[in-house]
Structure 1
């Protein structure tokens, strides 16, 4: 690979583990490997794992779940950069975004495999089943975002590129709705994903409102709002889409001795970010005091 780079220097700019100057980025390399691991495990499990009555069902579920997880990871890049003033992390956003499309395509491919590659049946099922229509709409949006993620598209579209890529938010809503629909009665993981999405959107709204997003108290308030939004989404789903008593599900959020509900996990996640921001602030303050003493 090194000799190829020396012979064709332009290759440096097209491999995912190099920065814009063509230099190796340890951060990008680590993220690239981590993005590949779930796919590797899915294929390994298909080839060497247990034999199920529906051999593609587990892989189908896992590929879709990882697509949503990586979509949330992509949406988390900007808040993390602003909260911790870590500009280098912006370099992984395109890579994680493309991985979302890759896992979504894998998800569709596994669905086609489960139908014995009967593409006519696959297409008809998509248009006959509401949850598949929702999922396909999310995939179409991801395809548009992926096709316009290259530098050439950014230059060609200009200011319209930013407006077009706001499509990621309705795509995320559609992907989460698809997750809820195919989860049926147990929507714990889907609710957790929706809660994380709500927390990320709260961070964005707080930033646009001009509040200091790096302030740990502001972040703690965001965590509590995110937890409340998660509980509200869960209550609404059980009240509107299932026959399970929504009141009992909502009350379970306050009984942490039994189990930690998604709203509690979102609160823990948000408060962890707040604590990390506080520690970073204290570290910077201590460092500045030490420099003043030395001066």
Structure 2
């Protein structure tokens, strides 16, 4: 559990975007986990976090029906949204949420998301009124993760606000990494572990102000967003600030592949 989970959490709405199409794991939101669809498991975690309202936002009637069958509110959204953030923007508009409402995007493939972390990110956004978004990160201890482009890194300013997100190893530890580089390919196995707390891995959990969500679809794609394939860079490119809650705990595994699904199913059965 993260450090400030015991503090009072501001009111918030949790939205679970659930797009049925998935290349690596077909119909992923409906995948069974210990007797319930994965997307329902995620929504139940959001309820445990204390959300005043939890909705599943989907582009398919089958997900809508599964949500309703388990007592979860759900809305049918357009099928052509390029990202989960765009889907949340439609929900914010459909529900006519007041500008300062905090809306949390709880990824639909994170059935083990820690409710305490959700609360922490909400509280972090409330504590940063100059920020439109809050998210989370944790320290990386393995050099291989620093150099893995599938692991997104973030660097912060003195107030815990993001300076940049990247798939590259940032910040670059010049004295530690340079001796292993040079003109030849980097030998990751020879790289030292990063100094404690020096490199942060981004956790894909976001809290937004509804006002920002409604403007997001109108923002032009940013060159840095296109280069890194990271949609949060669009907000930064257009001058929005992102507060980052740092936790010492790495998140539980999400579900992207059939192997991930089996691992999560085993964890549910073990803990039930």
Q: TM-score, normalised by structure 1?
A: 0.27
Greater share of helix: 1
Structure having the higher Rg: 1
Relative to its length, the structure with more strand (as a share) is: 2
Using CA pairs under 8 Å that are at least 6 residues apart, name the structure with larger relative contact order, 1 or 2: 2
Q: TM-score, normalised by structure 2?
A: 0.28
